[in-house]
Chains A and B, each alone.
Chain A
Amino acid sequence: MNNANANVYQPDLMEVTSVRRQTADVKSVSLRFIDPERARNFSFKVGQFGIFSAFGYGESTFNICSSSNWKDRIEFCFRKVGRVTEAMWKIEERDIVGFRGPYGNGYPMDVWKGHDLIFLGGGIAMPPIRCAVWYALENRADYGDITIVYGARTVADLVYVDELDEWAKHERVRVIRCVDPGGETPDWEGEIGFVPHVFERAQVKSKDPVVLVIGPPIMIKNTLPILDKMGVTPASVYTSIENRMKCGIGKCGRCNVGPIYVCKEGPVLTMEQLQSLPADY
C-alpha cells in the first residue's frame, strides 16, 4: 500500500465478525478493523455513515448503526436491492469488506441532553435510529423519557426485534411496535396502523422533546402535523436523509440538495433546515 494516509478513497479493511439475517431481505453485519492501530484510534458519532464495499462489486453507503460507545466493532445493516448489496448478501464471518468513514455530521447528542427523546421509524429506518437509542440508553442520565415507535409493512419486515424487547425493559422507555394494516399475524401483540397514526394514538406526553423521525417521505410528512399539535417546533425535529452518494467527501456531486452536500452538511438535518431546502431529496 503506498502512502496510505493520502489516498482519501482507499478503504480500511475490516473483518466480518458476525452476520445476522434480520428479515427475508435484510441482514446486519458486525465488523472489526484488521489494523489494530486503526481499531484503537477509530471513533465516530452516532448518526454518521460509512461507505462499505464488497471487493469486485463496489461501494455502498450505510449508516453506522452501532453505538459509538462500542469500541470493539462497528455494525451496519442493509437490504438486498442492487448489485453491491446482492454481493454483500453472500458475505460470511471472516470475510473482508472495505470501509471508508466515518462521514457526515451525526446526531447532536450533546444538544439533545436534558430532553425527552422520541424516535419514530419505518422499515429499514430502524438501523440509523438504533445507534442513537443505544447511545442514549448507555448515557441514560443525560436524557429524559424515551419513546420509540417503530413500524414496518408486515411483522416479517421488522428488524432488530429482540433489541426492541431489550429496550422496553429499561426504565422510562416506551417501545411501541406497529405493522401496516394487513401486515399483522394472528399472534401479533403490537399495534396495527401506520407509524404517524400509531404515534398519535399513543398520546405521548412530553414537554420540549427532541424527535428523530426517519422513514419514507410520506411517513415524515404525516408525522409533522402531529408534532406540530404537540407544540414541537421543526427545529427540534431531526431526520437523516438518504441521498445517493458515491465519494462521501463532498466531491462527486450527486448528493447536492440546494446549497448543501448531504455527505458533508448532512445527512442529519432538522426539519427547519430541510424545509429551507429545495425538494431535491
Chain B
Amino acid sequence: MSEMISQAGLRQLLGDCIAAGTVVAGPTRIKPTLILYARLSSPDELLLEGFLRPDNSIKEFVFPKQEKLYGYRIRGNNIELTGRDAPVPSQVVVAARPCDAAALPILDRIFNWDFKDEFYNDRRTATTVVTLACNQHDESCFCTSVGLGPAAERGSDVMLFAHGHGDYEVRCVTDKGRALFHGKTQKSSMEGRADAGPEKRFDPAAVRKFVDRHFEDPFWKEHALTCIGCGTCAFTCPTCHCFDIVDAGPSAGNARYRIWDSCQFPMFTAHASGHNPRAGQPGRQRQRILHKFSIYPEKFGEILCTGCGNCTRNCPEGIGVLSVATEIDHE
C-alpha cells in the first residue's frame, strides 16, 4: 500500500498553507517562455507538468538574491544599528526537483562551519521541501554522474511521484514532511514512477584528479574562449553560493545587504593594489570547476554540484559543468 494525494488535494493543501501565512513557492510560468521557482500567491499558479524544470533553483528561498543583514541610522556623528528583518515564519517549496533539494544539505555545510549564518539557518529551518520526482530528462541533465537520480530523496522532506492521472504517490521522508501531509493523503495500491534518469556521463573523481594537477593548462583557455563572463551559470546553479556585501545608502534606507556574486566576474578577486589573481576568463572558469570538484570536496567531503544542468541549459554560449567535466574525464 502507498499514500496518495490528488492534484486537487495538493492544491488545496497549498492553498491552506498560503491562507495560514506560510510562504509557498514552486514552479510557475513567469512569462510565456519562462518557468521559474517563485512565490505563489495562489495554488493555481503552481505548474506541475509539461516542462522539464525551472530555469532557476530553490536556493533563493534559503539564500535570497539580496538579503538585508542589518539596517542603521546615521545622525550626525552617531550611528545606530537597527537590526535585521524578521525571519520568514514558515515556507513550503513544492515540486522542487531532486537536484534542487539535494543542494540544501550541501549548502548547510558552508553556512555552518565555524561561524553559523543565522540568515541561512532561519530560512532553512522554516522550509519544508516537497520534491517531485523527475519523469523526464534532457541532454543537459547529469544527476546520475554526481551520485543522485530522478528519485533521490536527499534534502527533501516529502517525495511526490506522479501516477500519470494527476495523482501523486506521497512518500514522507522527514517529520517536517509528515506534519505537512498529515491527514491529507489516502491509501492507494498504485505506485508512482520516476524516470530512469540520464546515463552516467563522467566520474567526478576523474575531474578532481585532473583539476588538482592541471592548474596551468591550455584546457582552461580553450574552454573560456566563448565565455562572456555573464555569471548565469552561477546564478542559476543550486549550489553556487558566493556573495558580496554592499551598502544601500541613504536613498535606499541605509542598510547593509548581501547580494549574490559570482567567480565569473573580474571584480570578484581584484585586489586593492590593482593586481588580480584571476585576470581573465580562463582562471575564472577554472575556479568554478575547481571549487565544485576539488575545493569543496576537500573541505566538506562532497562535490558542489547536483547535476541539474542549469549552467549548460542557461548559458548563452552552451558552456557548463557537463561539457567541461565530460571532456576532462574522456581525455
Interface residues of A (CB under 8 A from B): 1-3, 6-11, 13, 53, 55-59, 79, 81-82, 85, 94-96, 98, 216-217, 242-244, 246-247, 249-254, 256-259, 261, 264, 278-281
Contacts and interface: CB of A to CB of B under 8 A. Distances in A.
B77 A244 contact: no
Contact of A279 (B110, B277, B294): B277
Q: Which of B82, B215, B269 has the most chain A CB atoms closer than 10 A to its own CB? A: B269
Contacts of A57: 247, 249
Contacts of A244: 268-272
B258 interface: yes
Given A10-B70, A55-B72, A259-B299, A252 B249 contact: no
B246 A243 contact: no
Interface in B279-318: 283, 287, 290-291, 294-295, 298-299
Contact of A252 (B74, B256, B261): B261
Given A9-B245, A96-B79, A249-B115, 16 more contacts: A1-B82, A13-B79, A56-B74, A56-B254, A59-B256, A244-B272, A246-B245, A250-B114, A252-B242, A252-B245, A252-B261, A256-B287, A258-B290, A279-B215, A280-B277, A280-B278
Contact of B115 (A8, A10, A96, A253): A8
B243 to A, nearest CB: 5
Contact of A7 (B84, B241, B283): B84
Nearest to A242: B271
A10 B69 contact: yes
A268 to B, nearest CB: 17
B115 A81 contact: no
A11 B243 CA distance: 18
Contacts of B295: 256, 258-259
A76 B191 CA distance: 65
Q: Which of A85, A98, A278 has the most chain B CB atoms closer than 10 A to its own CB? A: A278
Contact of A251 (B72, B215, B241, B291): B241
A221 to B, nearest CB: 13
29 contacts: A1-B83, A7-B69, A7-B70, A7-B119, A9-B245, A9-B258, A10-B69, A11-B81, A57-B249, A58-B247, A59-B247, A85-B272, A95-B77, A243-B269, A244-B269, A246-B243, A246-B244, A246-B245, A247-B243, A249-B115, A251-B243, A252-B242, A252-B243, A252-B258, A253-B261, A257-B277, A258-B295, A278-B215, A280-B287
Given A244-B271, A281-B277, A94 B77 contact: yes
Contacts of B50: none
A249 B114 CA distance: 8
Contacts of B268: 244, 254
Interface of B: 69-70, 72, 74, 77-79, 81-84, 110-111, 113-119, 215-216, 241-247, 249-250, 254, 256, 258, 261, 263, 268-273, 275, 277-278, 283, 287, 290-291, 294-295, 298-299
Nearest to A98: B79
A25 to B, nearest CB: 12
Contact of A259 (B111, B270, B294): B294
A10 B256 CA distance: 9
A264 B110 CA distance: 13
Q: Decide if the interface of chain B is mainly helix, strand, loop or mixed.
A: mixed
B271 A9 contact: no
A242 B254 CA distance: 29
A264 B114 contact: yes
Contacts of B113: 250
B304 to A, nearest CB: 10
Contacts of A11: 81
Given A96-B77, A264-B114, A253 B263 contact: yes
A108 to B, nearest CB: 19
Nearest to A264: B114
B277 A252 contact: no
A40 to B, nearest CB: 20
Nearest to B122: A6
Contacts of A2: 83-84
Contact of A253 (B72, B114, B241): B241
A251 B111 contact: yes
A49 to B, nearest CB: 13
Contacts of B254: 55-56
A257 B287 CA distance: 9
B256 to A, nearest CB: 7
Contact of B74 (A55, A251, A258, A261): A55
Nearest to B216: A279
B110 to A, nearest CB: 6
B247 A55 contact: yes
B115 A250 contact: yes
B74 A8 contact: no
A206 to B, nearest CB: 30
A95 B84 CA distance: 23
